């Protein structure tokens, strides 16, 4: 057990509040994991897949109302609205606490409460943070075993130290004799994912799904960690980490921030099409960045698993992910084949003639609906990935040479652009995003949804202070110690709407140019947008289906388009309100000057 009196007192307090039938301290063992899975299979909450086809694999189906993170029910309960900023849902902490305490009262009746001590980051690393999640969901318990360092080893490492208090309930108490359902959850209006940064606490109620319930992930590792990082001078970021080795054996580490649906996991596990180049995975979703003892920015992946989107994942798009999930994986909301295997849209094989869909109903290709939910997931230990880097759990972290940022832009933004400076790179990160190509409101189509460093839903405080913090972090390094910042855009299209760049393994050609730029071995030309590959600097040897005209379009900086982009950025900054860092406004002004855009000049009479 433990002698941590703060932990014991808190557990006693929550037990009296939530009134579970029993309390189970998770030890994180294989035996415990298997026992929980067996019990969920017996209760109908899980399906054991064909163990010949998918050894150690199980399928869960959520309630149709509980299939993704619910951003409109996610709150930052900081003391003032200004601390939360214009991009977060703010609630007064005392009012929200009172509302949720009423919901928590008796909420675990008829259920077991699981005590889950966990560590985000390698045990023993100064990067790492401790948390304890109290939950009435065995689904959460088994997922947390894959996604964090959980159980006795975490409890021992915690000792009498401080921890993030993570309270979670599915919000579905059971009366005596009442039958349970396979996926208990509360109605949408009673779902809350609340963060109390000043109390180092996360309270989640009503949802059993993903980032709403696995509180070590987005809640702790980004929203709460970002607040702590600001206080302590580091960065908690929504970034992958990869290692890139060239044919000469030289290795560099990159982090990359992409919004959803922009190929983040695919890049983290890339299989390069360039002979002699190798990518190794250190993390696919979150990076904590600190100044190391050597004076360089170093990155650690705080997670120990992958919680990846299944639809679209195939042996073509991400062979390493597919190999990772061949065994010992938890699947949520994918389709079930008659042979007891899994299937989803984009898996790379034709749909079978019959499936059981993610809602447990019969499905055929004529059904006219998706067999798997578009946000269906797999949970698997990072150690299962064939491309996992040997040093992925190095407590010192990996020295970062380049930071990549990118969104889904069919036009304007070139294939790859190097920033002119750290400050210019922060400016680029502040305005990155994806173009809205389909929306219920027609006038939104074509607009850019700005997503600073892909952190818009995950910053635990004011976005303007977050961007200022990025600038401040840069000031703590000597010249030459900071990573360079690059924008990438795999999604540029031609006039006919066809992608100009093949993507997937060919993205290694862009990584090669970035790698060589850092070594002074690749040329660049300066444009108003930043530094682009000089003619011939991008390795296109053997690349089929991409001609010189396409390359020209991929690397084009169209001045009228960029003038419109600058005006859009200025409108975005204005929308965020007062308090935007002056350095970023200066960068916008410098961009307008390079473009010769008379945006600030009075209109002609």
Q: What is the mean pLDDT of the segment spanning 484-501?
A: 96
Do 319 and 438 have their domain in common?
Answer: no
Residue 422 CA from chain centroid, whole number: 23
Distances (CA, A) of 262 to 48, 410, 488, 513, 587: 32, 12, 10, 20, 26
Comparing CA positions, the residue from 426, 217, 225 lying closest to residue 305 is: 217
Taking only the tens place, the pLDDT of each residue in 404-430 is 999 999 999 999 999 999 999 999 999
Distances (CA, A) of 320 to 123, 312, 573: 26, 14, 40
Do 268 and 342 have their domain in common?
Answer: no
d(CA 22, CA 303) in angstroms, rounded, equals: 29
Decide if 122 is inside a domain.
Answer: yes
Do 332 and 459 have their domain in common?
Answer: no
pLDDT band at 446 (very low <50, low <70, confident <90, very high): low
Q: What total number of domains does the chain contain?
A: 3
Q: Which residues of 33-50 are buried (b: 16+ CB within 10 A; e: fewer)?
A: beebbeebeeeebbbbbe
| Structural domain that includes position 372 | 306-384
Tokens of 4: 């941590």
**Burial environment of residue 300 by CB neighbours within 10 A (0 to 12, 13 to 18, 19 or more):** buried
Answer with the one of 192, 208, 233 that is the final residue of a domain: 233
SS3 labels along 29-61: CHHHHHHHHHHHHHHCCCEECCCCCCCCCEEEC
Answer with the one of 334, 368, 384 that is the final residue of a domain: 384
Lowest mean pLDDT among 38-52, 417-431, 585-599: 585-599
The CATH number covering residue 109 comes to 3.40.449.10
The CATH number covering residue 556 comes to 3.90.228.20
Do 427 and 326 have their domain in common?
Answer: no
Do 395 and 498 have their domain in common?
Answer: yes
d(CA 76, CA 85) in angstroms, rounded, equals: 9
The CATH number covering residue 368 comes to 2.170.8.10
Do 252 and 115 have their domain in common?
Answer: no
pLDDT band at 435 (very low <50, low <70, confident <90, very high): confident
What are the start-end ranges of the E strands in 126-247?
A: 129-135, 149-150, 164-169, 192-196, 201-205, 235-237, 240-245
Q: What is the mean pLDDT of the segment spanning 56-80?
A: 97
Decide if 53 is inside a domain.
Answer: no
pLDDT band at 193 (very low <50, low <70, confident <90, very high): very high
Taking only the tens place, the pLDDT of each residue in 388-398 is 999 999 999 99
Decide if 55 is inside a domain.
Answer: no
Comparing CA positions, the residue from 206, 194, 191 lying closest to residue 165 is: 194
Residues 6+ apart with CB under 8 A from 580: 464, 467, 573
Decide if 578 is inside a domain.
Answer: no
Do 402 and 457 have their domain in common?
Answer: yes
pLDDT band at 440 (very low <50, low <70, confident <90, very high): very low
Do 277 and 423 have their domain in common?
Answer: yes
Decide if 530 is inside a domain.
Answer: yes
> Which residues, listed in sequence order, are joined to residue 531 by a DSSP beta bridge?
418, 526
Do 255 and 293 have their domain in common?
Answer: yes
262 belongs to the catalytic site: yes
Q: Is the pLDDT of residue 11 over 60?
A: yes
Do 212 and 225 have their domain in common?
Answer: yes
What pLDDT, on a 0 to 100 scale, did the predictor assign at position 437? 54
Decide if 64 is inside a domain.
Answer: no
Do 366 and 394 have their domain in common?
Answer: no
What pLDDT, on a 0 to 100 scale, did the predictor assign at position 601? 43
Do 380 and 460 have their domain in common?
Answer: no
Taking only the tens place, the pLDDT of each residue in 294-325 is 999 999 999 999 999 999 999 999 999 999 99
Decide if 604 is inside a domain.
Answer: no
Q: What is the mean pLDDT of the segment spanning 227-247?
A: 98
Catalytic residue among 166, 185, 262, 385: 262
Q: Is the pLDDT of residue 441 over 80?
A: no
pTM above 0.85, yes or no: yes
What is the β-pairing status of strands 524-527 and 530-533? Answer: antiparallel
d(CA 599, CA 605) in angstroms, rounded, equals: 15
Taking only the tens place, the pLDDT of each residue in 365-375 is 999 999 999 99
What pLDDT, on a 0 to 100 scale, did the predictor assign at position 314? 96
> Over pLDDT 90: what percentage of the chain?
94
Q: Is the pLDDT of residue 126 over 60?
A: yes
Choose between 598 and 338: higher pLDDT: 338
pLDDT band at 599 (very low <50, low <70, confident <90, very high): low
What pLDDT, on a 0 to 100 scale, did the predictor assign at position 262? 87
Decide if 194 is inside a domain.
Answer: yes
What is the β-pairing status of strands 251-257 and 398-406? Answer: parallel
Q: In 3-state terms, the chain is what percent helix, strand and coil (to 5)?
A: 30, 20, 45
Answer with the one of 194, 214, 233 that is the final residue of a domain: 233
> Over pLDDT 70: what percentage of the chain?
97
Comparing CA positions, the residue from 50, 32, 47 lying closest to residue 331 is: 47
């Amino acid at each position: 057990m433990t002698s941590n009196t703060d932990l014991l007192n808190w557990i006693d307090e929550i037990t009296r509040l939530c009134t579970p039938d029993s309390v189970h301290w998770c030890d994180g063992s294989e035996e415990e994991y298997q026992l929980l899975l067996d019990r969920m299979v017996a209760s109908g909450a899980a399906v054991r897949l064909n163990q010949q086809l998918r050894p150690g694999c199980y399928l869960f189906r959520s309630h149709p109302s509980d299939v993704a993170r619910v951003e409109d029910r996610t709150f930052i309960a900081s003391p003032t609205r200004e601390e939360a900023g214009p991009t977060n849902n703010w609630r007064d902490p005392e009012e929200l606490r009172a509302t949720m305490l009423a919901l928590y009262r008796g909420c675990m009746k008829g259920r077991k409460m699981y005590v889950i001590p966990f560590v985000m980051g390698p045990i023993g690393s100064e990067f790492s943070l401790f948390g304890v999640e109290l939950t009435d969901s065995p689904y959460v318990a088994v997922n947390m075993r894959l996604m964090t360092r959980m159980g006795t080893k975490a409890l021992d490492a915690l000792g009498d130290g401080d921890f993030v208090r993570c309270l979670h309930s599915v919000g579905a108490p059971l009366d005596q004799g009442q039958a349970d359902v396979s996926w208990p959850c509360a109605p949408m209006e009673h779902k809350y994912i609340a963060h109390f940064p000043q109390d180092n606490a996360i309270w989640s109620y009503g949802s059993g799904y993903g980032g709403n319930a696995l509180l070590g992930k987005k809640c702790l590792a980004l929203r709460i960690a970002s607040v702590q990082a600001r206080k302590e001078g580091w960065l908690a970021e929504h970034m992958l980490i990869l290692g890139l080795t060239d044919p000469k054996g030289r290795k560099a580490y990159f982090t990359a921030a992409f919004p959803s649906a922009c190929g983040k996991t695919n890049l983290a596990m890339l299989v390069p099409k360039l002979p002699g180049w190798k990518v190794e995975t250190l993390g696919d979703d979150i990076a904590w960045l600190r100044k190391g003892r050597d004076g360089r920015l170093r990155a650690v992946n705080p997670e120990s698993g992958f919680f990846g989107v299944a639809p679209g994942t195939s042996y073509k798009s991400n062979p390493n992910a597919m190999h990772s999930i061949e065994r010992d994986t938890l699947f949520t909301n994918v389709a079930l084949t008659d042979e007891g295997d899994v299937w989803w849209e984009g898996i790379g094989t034709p749909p079978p003639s019959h499936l059981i869909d993610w809602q447990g109903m019969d499905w055929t290709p004529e059904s006219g609906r998706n067999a798997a939910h578009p946000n269906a997931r797999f949970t698997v230990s990072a150690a299962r990935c064939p491309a996992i880097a040997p040093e992925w759990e190095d407590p010192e972290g990996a020295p970062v040479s380049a930071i990549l940022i990118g969104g889904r832009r069919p036009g304007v933004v070139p294939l790859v652009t190097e920033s002119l400076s750290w400050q210019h790179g922060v400016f680029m990160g502040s305005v990155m995003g994806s173009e809205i190509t389909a929306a219920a409101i027609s006038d939104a189509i074509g607009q850019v949804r700005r997503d600073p460093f892909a952190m818009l839903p995950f910053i635990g405080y004011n976005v303007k202070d977050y961007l200022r913090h990025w600038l401040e972090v840069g000031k703590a390094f000597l010249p030459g110690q900071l990573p360079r910042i690059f924008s990438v855009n795999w999604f540029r299209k031609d006039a006919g709407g066809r992608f100009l760049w093949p993507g997937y393994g060919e993205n290694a050609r862009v990584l090669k140019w970035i790698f060589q730029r850092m070594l002074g071995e690749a040329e660049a030309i300066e444009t108003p947008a930043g530094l682009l590959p000089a003619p011939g600097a991008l390795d296109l040897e053997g690349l089929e289906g991409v001609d010189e005209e396409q390359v020209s379009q991929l690397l084009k900086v169209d001045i009228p388009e960029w003038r419109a982009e600058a005006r859009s950025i200025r409108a975005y900054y204005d929308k965020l309100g007062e308090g935007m860092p002056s350095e970023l406004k200066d960068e916008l002004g410098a961009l307008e000057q390079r473009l010769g855009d008379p945006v600030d000049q009075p209109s002609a009479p």
